[in-house]
Amino acid sequence: MAFANHVPLWAHALGIFPSSRELFSISQFDSGNSSGGGGGGGGGGWLGGMGLGLSPGPMTMVSHLFPDGEDCKSFSQLLSGATAASPTAQYLGFSFPSASSAPERTAVLPPGELRFKQSRPDGLAVTQPLFAIPPGLSPGALLDSPGTFHPVPGHLGMSYQHGFLRMGTQGLQAQPHHVQSGYASASSSTAALSLGRMQFPPFAVSTSMMNQQNLSLEGPKIIESEPIDFSRPDQRPPVSSFAIDKPADDGYNWRKYGQKQVKGSEFPRSYYKCTHPTCPVKKKVERSLDGQITEIIYKGQHNHQPPKGNKRAKDSGAANGSSDVEESSQIPLGLMPQDPESSQVTPAQFSGTSDSEEVGDADTGADEGDEDEPEPKRRSMEVMAPDAGSVHRTITEPKIIVQTTSEVDLLDDGYRWRKYGQKLVKGNPYPR
């Protein structure tokens, strides 16, 4: 794969928040202060993660991104050029709905967090994923296959790239060399390095640009709390983890199993589980009174692909109905980590990833594997909590957090899974 391919993809990412005219604008990007939620490394946001001292600075990363400097001249160029009108954007299928009539929302993010502003029509909840990154697809994979990546035109643009934000700050920064409970240690330590190698150029570019351009970026934040090891090709995270999703429709079916008013949050938090029998993925969604999503936290990784005939997807209104689901399905399976070895380290850390439906076997096995493991889940969540909590929510823009647990089990399918519940479902001979 050539970086040439990356460029369009990431450029498109940039294109998502090219200017105030577009849906997104970059309002704040504090890359210098990263303390709290994973700040550590010195760089805020995901860039901060790169700032562990192990990774190059934003610009460096950029240069890495576009070694040849051919496709990507400069941030400014990228920004200015990566617009909906740009060939790249067009190629990618991007379209930037007019936000002129939409109120602009601004969120206050904690230092180090990339904040996106998003303009959208009133009442329009960010439920429509701009695009979903299929499970098992790594950033690199994305880069390799730009053609499979089709943002949903006309939808609130949320870019999966946001997902790297927290990832950089927490998983990486906090513990570049930290060995987490049991496993994932390797991944965590390498994560920083990998990132430094710019597995996520888009962010690097976009964030730095944001600063430079003093743009205001609006949109959801995707936070990856889990250390990730991208250094290994076979361990590349399924990009799906970063899938941006609209709470209601991201191509997967969700069942709400709880709702609660969380302290520190102005809005009630809803808890959802993926309805797939063996899928461990959960997500927490906070909506403002007007129904707009203010925060989305994903946890876990889909062990299946989005249902194609997803009946619910329909409501997603995915104008392109296809968008998310298809997108994901389009991802070449070959991109998914299938190497057993890879499994040992990270795939699980990325949520939303997926793989083939055939993982079914693994599914059942999955349940068995993790039962005994203690559940640091809460703690892990708390890790992010500070960040999330720190966000003064004047927010209107959804914050999307992709959370993965490090304490996952190693299954036959090469992924690590954590069981968080079991239930006998009617019609299903096997406990879910």
Partner DNA sequence: AGCCTTTGACCAGCG
Partner DNA sequence: TCGCTGGTCAAAGGC
Residues that bind DNA (CB under 7 A): 253-260, 262-265, 269-272, 275, 282, 284, 374-375, 377-379, 381-382, 385, 420-421, 423, 425-428
Whose Cβ is closer to DNA: residue 105's or residue 283's? 283
Whose Cβ is closer to DNA: residue 181's or residue 212's? 181
Residue 292 beta carbon to DNA: minimum distance, rounded to whole angstroms = 15
Residue 417 beta carbon to DNA: minimum distance, rounded to whole angstroms = 14
Whose Cβ is closer to DNA: residue 275's or residue 330's? 275
CA–CA separation, 57 and 52 (whole Å): 9
Whose Cβ is closer to DNA: residue 211's or residue 403's? 403
At a CB cut-off of 8 Å and minimum separation 6, what does 320 contact? 150, 152, 153, 326
Residue 205 beta carbon to DNA: minimum distance, rounded to whole angstroms = 31
Residue 304 beta carbon to DNA: minimum distance, rounded to whole angstroms = 14
The answer to whether the CB of 263 falls within 8 A of the CB of 249 is no
**Residue 98 CB: number of other CB atoms within 10 A?**
12
SS3 (DSSP) at 159 = coil
Q: How far is CA 50 from CA 62, 69, 99, 225, 259, in A?
A: 12, 21, 33, 15, 36
CA–CA separation, 252 and 67 (whole Å): 37
Residue 168 beta carbon to DNA: minimum distance, rounded to whole angstroms = 21
The answer to whether the CB of 159 falls within 8 A of the CB of 16 is yes
Which residue pairs, CB below 8 angstroms and at least 24 apart, start in 307-310? 307/251, 307/252, 307/253, 307/276, 310/251, 310/252, 310/253
Whose Cβ is closer to DNA: residue 426's or residue 429's? 426
Whose Cβ is closer to DNA: residue 21's or residue 432's? 432
The answer to whether the CB of 226 falls within 8 A of the CB of 283 is no
Nearest alpha carbon to residue 49 among 144, 150, 152, 190: 190
Burial of 242 (0-12, 13-18, 19+ CB in 10 A): buried
Residue 312 beta carbon to DNA: minimum distance, rounded to whole angstroms = 7
Residue 382 beta carbon to DNA: minimum distance, rounded to whole angstroms = 7
CA–CA separation, 346 and 341 (whole Å): 10
SS3 (DSSP) at 341 = helix
Token couple for 249: 């429709």
Residue 57 beta carbon to DNA: minimum distance, rounded to whole angstroms = 33
CA–CA separation, 160 and 392 (whole Å): 22
Whose Cβ is closer to DNA: residue 241's or residue 253's? 253
Residue 53 beta carbon to DNA: minimum distance, rounded to whole angstroms = 27
Residue 228 beta carbon to DNA: minimum distance, rounded to whole angstroms = 20
Whose Cβ is closer to DNA: residue 143's or residue 385's? 385
Strand stretches in 30-167, DSSP E? 104-105, 114-119
Q: What angle do CA 45, 47, 49 make, to 5 degrees?
A: 85
Whose Cβ is closer to DNA: residue 100's or residue 423's? 423
Please state the three-class secondary structure of 263-331 as a single string: CCCCCEEEEEEECCCCCCCEEEEEECCCCCEEEEEEECCCCCCCCCCCHHHHHCCCCCCCHHHHHHHHC
Residue 247 beta carbon to DNA: minimum distance, rounded to whole angstroms = 9
Whose Cβ is closer to DNA: residue 21's or residue 377's? 377
Single-letter amino acid, residue 375: E
Whose Cβ is closer to DNA: residue 121's or residue 258's? 258
